[in-house]
Every structure is written in C-alpha cells, then in structure tokens.
Amino acid sequence: MAESNTTERDEEKKLITKVFNLNIPYPKKYKTINKDKPTKEKTALYVPRIELVKNNLFRPSSLSPKVKVTRNVTNILETIFKHGNIAKRYGENGLESDPSRQQIIVYSAIVCQDNLLWYQRATPETAGTDRKKFLGDLRLQGKLSIGFGGHKTEDDIGLSKAELTFLHDLLPVIKDQLAILVGLNKGFFTEIEEELAINRGNIKDIRFLGAFFDERMEDPSIEVQVGWVHTGIATIIELDPETTTKLIFHTRETAKAWWVPFDKVFEDLNNKIKAAQQGKGPLVESWTEIMIKEFWSDYYSK
C-alpha cells in the first residue's frame, strides 16, 4: 500500500468548522499616514559603494575599464548582509541620484534544456498605454534583454524582519542583518513568480556567478546613468522541464520572448549588437551584454 504524502496540517484543513467574528477594541475612525516613511514603490535595498568594492576583488571588464566585475559571490553576499540598508529611490537624497550608494539587483537569466531565454522590453506603445501609466523603466524601454529582477524594497525587508520575530531576543544584534538577506531571498522569488508565473517548484537550480557595475556614460541626456547607481548579481536560473510547461508574460512589461540555443548565444548576441549599430534592430541592454560576455562562459563551461 502506497504511503500517503498528506501532512497533519492538510488533514486539519479538511475538517469542517464554524467561525465567529470579534471586532478589535475602539477602532480608529481616521487612518494615520506617515508621509515620511518610504513606500514599496519608492524604496530599494542598497550598500554603500565604498563597502561594496572593499575586498571584493572587482576588476576592469574586457568590455571596458569602466565596467567592473567580480566572481567573489560569497564576499558580495556577506557585504550585503553586513552593510545593506533601505532608502528612498527618488527625491532629495534619493538613491537614483547617488552613485555612492549602490542599489542591489539580482539580475537573473533563465535557461531550460540548453536554451537561454531572451525578451524585448515593452514600450508604452506595445503595452497599450501612455508614458504616465507605463510600468516599465522608460530608460530601458524597447531594449533586448536576458535579465529578470528588480529592486528589493521596504516591503520585502520589512516583512522578512517580522518573520524573524523569534530572533528578537535570541539574536537581536544580527536580526536586522538577517532580515536583509531573507528579504533579498523573498524578493528574488517574488519577482520571478510575478514576471514569469513560475514558482520554486519550477526551479531546478540557481547559480550565482558574480557581480558587476557599470560606470560608462551611455546616455548624455541623463545626468546620472542607470548603471552608476546599481550593482547586479549575475545569476542563472535553471527551469525544471518536468514541472514547467510554459512561461506567462505581462505585455505591460514584455513585448515578446524567445529561446536561443546555448551554442548560439555568443553569435546571436553579436548579431543583435551589429544590427542595433546599423539601425536595423533594437538596442541590447548593457547589463545583458555584460552578463553574456563576462559570465556566460563560466556557466556554460560547467
């Protein structure tokens, strides 16, 4: 007789029970809003740049001396653990205008059965909306990319801190630091679920290859370049073909997507870059070029 995989909790959920309600004492009629508290849309996890580059073996990339890369993933995560914090992204003293504080992005490429996933970011036109309602980053709109991932917010870190409540008395000194890494982990999986409609059960393996940041001047019309204020953690997510049948994309963020075989990745990238230079195709996202030219061989050779 086959063993049942049903847990005690599953059995409890099947029980039929009645419920009753109880109001909280003296409910407030007016909700107090703390205008100074950062909101989910306006915050990001960051690390002081001076701490990020210290002892993490960043070196100039073959692409440009202004692109810095490292394979020292363990030290990078330790630096985030020790020095990570949350701040607002925009407005006075916002992160988006401050290269001395690097916003952390887990930049994940998706692979499955020896194929790499590519996509084109949406534009207001392809998303069927105007610029004010467009959800994508206008600085990246329409570009070709292999990377998924976004900012880790006050929401990610705050919820994680609440989940570590039992550590308040046991390990109070490192509770906030643990919340940073737990929040990084939580936000990482949440983004993948939201952007591709896959969950942890669809993931076969995750590989962290290194980290990078880009100090090049890409767009003279922008005072502070996107790459100046962000550091990417180069990551590969391997999907499990036995549990994953399809990916679901939101057209408000993604115009189209396709697969490229592993043995064609470099050739395909070079063709895309050449087409863009000749005005015959969309631009390739700079982080995607860094990811492939600097880290792809580390993964594919394994």
| Residue 246 falls inside a structural domain | yes
Cα–Cα distance measured from residue 129 to residue 255, given in angstroms and rounded to the nearest whole number: 13
Domain count, the chain: 1
| Mean pLDDT value of segment 84-102 | 94
Residue 217 or 6, more confident: 217
| Residue 25 falls inside a structural domain | no
| Residue 6 falls inside a structural domain | no
Supply the pLDDT for residue 33.
Answer: 45
Cα–Cα distance measured from residue 186 to residue 62, given in angstroms and rounded to the nearest whole number: 33
| Residue 24 falls inside a structural domain | no
Mean pLDDT of the chain: 84
Give the range of the structural domain holding residue 80, as residue numbers without chain letter: 38-300
The CATH number linked to 251 is 3.90.79.10
Cα–Cα distance measured from residue 148 to residue 222, given in angstroms and rounded to the nearest whole number: 23
pLDDT tens for residues 140-156?
Answer: 899 999 999 888 887 77
| Residue 91 falls inside a structural domain | yes
Residue 33 or 215, more confident: 215
Structure tokens at 60: 């100039």
| Mean pLDDT value of segment 255-283 | 97
Residue 23 or 237, more confident: 237
| Residue 250 falls inside a structural domain | yes
Q: How far apart are the first and last CA of the chain?
A: 42
pLDDT tens for residues 95-117?
Answer: 999 999 999 999 999 999 999 99
| Residue 27 falls inside a structural domain | no
**Which of 27, 130, 139, 38 lies closest to 88 in space, CA to CA?**
38
Query: Residue holding tokens 């059965």?
Result: 113
Contacting residues for 9 by C-beta, under 8 A, at least 6 apart: none
CA-to-CA separations, 236 to 69, 112, 128, 292, in angstroms, rounded:
16, 10, 31, 11
| Residue 17 falls inside a structural domain | no
Question: Binning pLDDT at 50, 70 and 90, where does residue 32 land?
Answer: very low
**Which of 104, 102, 109 lies closest to 295 in space, CA to CA?**
109
| Mean pLDDT value of segment 155-181 | 59
Helix (H) or strand (E) holding 268: helix 265-277
